[in-house]
Structure formats: structure tokens, C-alpha cells
Structure 1
Amino acid sequence: MTDFSPQRTQSSAELNQLSQKTLDAAFRVHSALDPGLLESTYEHCLCYELTKKNISATRQVQLPVVYDGTKIDAGYRIDLLIEDKIIVEVKATESLLPIHEAQLLIYLKLANKQLGLLINFNVRSLKHGIKRMVHDL
């Protein structure tokens, strides 16, 4: 199980570089597959692409909720956790909605992470399906 205890703040340059590598991999996946597939397909392929580049990417990471001092598995799962630093939520939907952004923000808060990427692969041009979100620890 991943440790989500508070961690040192990552440098902006380090997070930006890792974020760019993640987005580069997402563009490669989108170019190869195009829109129209299941979220899980893009998630698997993005994880594979990152691993090929020696970037640690873990799929479906359990995210407990701490309630009354107790960790509770409420069924939340992070789609991809990159280098234990960046949360990636993968979507394959007509458009990103405010609820998707809220989901990523709460995941950042629960996991004590600073940076998250919301990537919707069901778009003609992937640049229109990316939302970068920051949570101040």
C-alpha cells in the first residue's frame, strides 16, 4: 500500500519535468489509439508507455479516507500514480466536467500530493482534453 503521509514539497522544476514527460507519453498513446476506447485501455497503455521510459507508474492505487483517526477503504482508486508524486486521472468522456476536477482535487488532498493531471482521451486533439491541477500542501 502506498504511503500518503505528508511529504516534503517537491520542487516546481522537478514536478514540471515529470508532468511534461507524462503528457508526452499521453500524446503518444492518443496518437496511436485515437478516441473511442475505454478509459482502462488508455490507462494501461499510458502506464506501459511511462514504464518504457523508466518512469514509475502504478495503476489503481488504493486511496483510503482517514475518518476519526482511522484509515477506511471507501473504494477510492487513483488511476495512475507517477513516481509517487503526480496523480493522473484518466477519462474517456464527451467532455471534462466540474465533478471530474473536484474528484482530482480531493484525491490530491487525501493523498497529500501537489500536482494532478486530468486527461480526457476521448477528444479529437488531446491538448483540449488536459487539465493540470495543483493542491497546496
Structure 2
Amino acid sequence: MSRGDPESYAVIGAAMEVQNHLGRGYLERAYQEALEIEFIERKIPYQREVAVTLHYKGRQLGAPYRADFVCYGSLLVELKAIPRLGDRDRAQMLHYLKGTKIERGLLINFASDRLEYERYILS
């Protein structure tokens, strides 16, 4: 992955650093704040809590969702702190990618002993 997608590799490395320092057992918000610090230290460009709007028949639906991060302007990063990733979490990632028109995403889970992540590419 590092050759074909160095940006995803950089974000995963930052998440691994957070996992190594904090371990498991915290709420998602703690991991989000720690990962933001890691992004700053590593000079990874990011936006936090990016609005994801949904459309129906050309009309914007009222309540936008919030994606945890968009890094490099083209990599959506969604964080979890749950026992294991499920279909609902995967569906959320796909909806966020479609809603933002971003083609790459990382779903990262901090609640296990080792960092769990899944990479998504829409085409």
C-alpha cells in the first residue's frame, strides 16, 4: 500500500502510533483528539468533522452527518471504538464516500489490542 497509496499508509501509521500509546478502552472522541495531534506532528493535512450531505432527487436532505476526518483533501477517515467492525459501520463508510464524492476511505477501529482498519476505494 505504501507505493500505491502513501497517504493512506501515512494515516494508518499515525493511527498505529495512537493505538500504541493509548491502547484500547477509551471513547472514540479520545482517539479522535489524539489522532488530530498525530496529524499535526506528522504534517498530515486534514479537516475534522466534515459535513457529509445527502441528496435525494437533486435535493439536499436536511441533517448532514459528520465524517471524523478528511485527510489530504481526498481521503475520508472514519473512527470507531467498538468491539468489532460490522456491516452497519461499513455501510456508513460507503454512504459517507458517496455523499462527499470522495473515492478513498479508511475505517479505523481502536477497540482491539491491535489496530483494526479497512480501506475503501470507490470507482
TM-score under structure 1 length normalisation: 0.83
Shift of 1:48: 1.5
After superposition, residues 1-137 of structure 1 pair within 5 angstroms as 16-126=5-115, 129-136=116-123
Output the CA distance in 2 between the equivalents of 1:131 and 1:51.
23
The one-letter code sitting in structure 1 at the alignment partner of 2:6 is Q
Decide which moves more: 63-72 or 25-34.
63-72
Equivalent pair of 2:54/2:64 in contact (CA under 8 Å): no
Q: CA RMSD in A?
A: 1.8
Equivalent pair of 2:2/2:9 in contact (CA under 8 Å): no
Output the CA distance in 2 between the equivalents of 1:72 and 1:114.
21
Output the CA distance in 2 between the equivalents of 1:14 and 1:24.
14
- Between the aligned residues of both structures, percent identity stands at 32
The number of aligned residues is: 123
Change (3 A) 1:85 1:14: farther
Any idea what SS the aligned residue of 1:117 has?
A: strand
For structure 2, the 5+ residue unaligned runs are none
Output the CA distance in 2 between the equivalents of 1:40 and 1:15.
30
